[in-house]
Structure 1
Amino acid sequence: MSRKLLLALIVVLLITNIATLLFWDNEQSIVRNNDEEIEINNDGSVASIDGEAISYEEWMDSLRNSYGENQLEAMIDQAVVNQLAEAKKIDVHEKVIEREVALLTSMQGVTGEQEFEEKEEEWREDIRYRYQLQQLLTEDTSIPEEEVESYYNQYGNEYDFASSMQLSHIVVQNFETAEKVIGELEEGASFDLLAQEYSIDEESASDGGYLGFIRTNSQFFPNGYEEVAADMEEYSYSEPFEADTGVAIIYLHRKLQSIDFTYDEIKPYVESELALNEMDQSLQADPLWEELDIEWIYGE
């Protein structure tokens, strides 16, 4: 993935992950703050400072004035790319989307299953949009075959994704202690709290035993962990087993499979990436607006 595409993707993800989302009707609104929904009377206030209120209407006016044009422009960009991509039959290979989802997943901390599913849906939409936009912007720019092949031969492995596992662990001195930990886990105790209490791995204990995402081909992957985790379901913990530093219990948060591309599979995306660099074109949909009849309140 090009630096321009990665930067654009991160910017959009930051925008779409703003904690507060608004939904409104004529009388009441629902403000979503992370996972909590708060009902607000549209005629009421949203804050009070020493008795001086800020009304819901003032808040909405401020949001519209500050972000209204940008948000509407982003919505038009999305519609433009969707329409042109459909008309020109430009789609994104599912394998490419899976690779980008895996890359973004590996950048995350610990997330619950439902939370991840919601994130993944947003990611997929944005990844498809960004790759379609890149191909639409570069469709009239031709890159010589030998240049594409040369670039692939030099950087092609950077498009692949190495299998990774997101793990936490609890390391104790003996199986007797490990069975005690298992008993508490079966009773519903928190894995990260038990790690803080029992684990003798000082580097990870304070973080609830969290080890992060580790590539399975990495020299830092603990001995024996991959073999145990290979047969585990995501969001589950293992039975105790002998490890290099004691008796371990691992928790498998996520398991990401390797993704490899052939030249033919990745060629269209290498071509559009090279074309975008040659054009010195930013990943913005503005140049595509002239292909459609667009009217909006901020201008033509």
Structure 2
Amino acid sequence: MSKKLLLGIIVVLLITNVTTMLLWKNDQPEESVGENEAIDTKKPVASINGTKISFQDWMKSLRNNYGKKELKTIIDREVVKQLAEENNITVSDKVIERDIATLTTMQGLVSEEELKEMEASWREDIVYRYQLEALLAQDIQVSDAEVESYFNKYDRQYQFSESVQLSHILVSDMDTAEKVYDELLAGASFSLLAKEYSIDEETRERGGYLGFNSVNTEFLPANYFDIAEGLEEYSYSEPFVTDNGVAILFLHKELPDITFTYDELKPYIRNELALQSVNQNLVADPLWEKLDIEWIFGE
């Protein structure tokens, strides 16, 4: 790739992603600093006992403290993208979905829209990580026997078990449960009703939130999963009898089993073992020499 083209790409990415480049656009009276905010770049951004801080000073500080790191991150991503395309390195959709599912279980309660935004960001990061790993491991030899032995020993850590994200309202009798259910039908908040009515002291103050649970867990009544199977995401059940009383269940999110064969995981495990064998950190620096790169911070 020519220097001119690569530098052109970097400039485009800088303009769209790096806040510090706003310093180059001071001839415009306003700049956006948030989703619904704008500032006048000709006026101070702050004043402390009469001492004014200009927009230019602010931008210079951002550039000096974060500019190099941010630009390197952008270049790293573009380097990996180009080399991955050149070497036909792709990432299995199944692997991506497994990693997204794992990351999802680490979140608390988020809206459906927020989760979609997170997933889009995660997807980019996951693809970048696996492509970087594959590129760094290209010339490192690992035997098939080593890979197969590792898979046989640790294959469970690469699989994902079906999980459900649940909340519940647990009460002592059906009459109370029916009353709560009627309030839900009338539009009341599940979380607030849990705080008001639930007898489960461990989850009541969290609005009945039970978190993500694998279907193999022993910490929830078995019929919770049977009830959850009949629900759509972001919906609640009718009252039902359980071991500890009468419950109403809310299904936030359901994540299916994602399992892999040895052949599906072989290239990913090989790359992991290759990098471990030479103590190679997961950084793109060694790949820069494969492309013709110039940047404002020099060598």
TM-score with structure 2 setting the length: 0.88
Q: Separation in 1 of the partners of 2:71 and 2:147? A: 37
Deviation string 1:105-145 (CA, Å, 9 cap, x unpaired) is 01000010110000000000000000000000001112111
Deviates more, 1:177-186 or 1:214-223: 177-186
Change (3 A) 1:188 1:29: farther
Equivalent position of 1:299 in the other structure: 298
Equivalent position of 1:228 in the other structure: 227
Matched, 1:30 2:32: yes
**Could you tell me which amino acid in structure 2 is paired with residue 92 of structure 1?**
V
**RMSD, aligned α-carbons:** 1.8
Change (3 A) 1:53 1:165: farther
TM-score with structure 1 setting the length: 0.88
Equivalent position of 1:118 in the other structure: 117
Change (3 A) 1:56 1:235: farther
**Could you tell me which amino acid in structure 1 is paired with residue 188 of structure 2?**
A
Deviation string 1:19-46 (CA, Å, 9 cap, x unpaired) is xx899673323333xxx63322222344
Kept after mapping to 2: 8 A contact 1:23/1:30: no
Equivalent position of 2:237 in the other structure: 238
Q: Separation in 2 of the partners of 1:37 and 1:85? A: 37
Please list, as runs of the form range in 1=range in 2, the aligned pairs for 1:91-240 lying within 5 A after superposition: 91-240=90-239
**Could you tell me which amino acid in structure 2 is paired with residue 171 of structure 1?**
L
Deviation string 1:76-133 (CA, Å, 9 cap, x unpaired) is 0000000000011000001100110011001000010110000000000000000000
Secondary structure at the residue paired with 1:224? helix
Kept after mapping to 2: 8 A contact 1:22/1:31: no
Change (3 A) 1:274 1:201: same
Change (3 A) 1:178 1:31: farther
**Could you tell me which amino acid in structure 1 is paired with residue 290 of structure 2?**
E
Quick check: which one's helix share is greater? 2
Name structure 2 gaps, 5 residues minimum. Answer: 1-18
Kept after mapping to 2: 8 A contact 1:223/1:244: no
Kept after mapping to 2: 8 A contact 1:173/1:247: yes
How many equivalent residue pairs?
A: 277
Deviates more, 1:239-248 or 1:131-140: 239-248
Change (3 A) 1:47 1:258: farther
Q: Separation in 2 of the partners of 1:216 and 1:258? A: 10
Name structure 1 gaps, 5 residues minimum. Answer: 1-20
Q: Tell me the CA shift for residue 183 of structure 1.
A: 2.3
Equivalent position of 2:43 in the other structure: 44
Please list, as runs of the form range in 1=range in 2, the aligned pairs for 1:260-275 lying within 5 A after superposition: 260-275=259-274
Query: Percent identity, aligned pairs only?
Result: 55
Larger gyration radius, structure 1 or structure 2: 2
Kept after mapping to 2: 8 A contact 1:23/1:31: no
**Could you tell me which amino acid in structure 2 is paired with residue 234 of structure 1?**
E
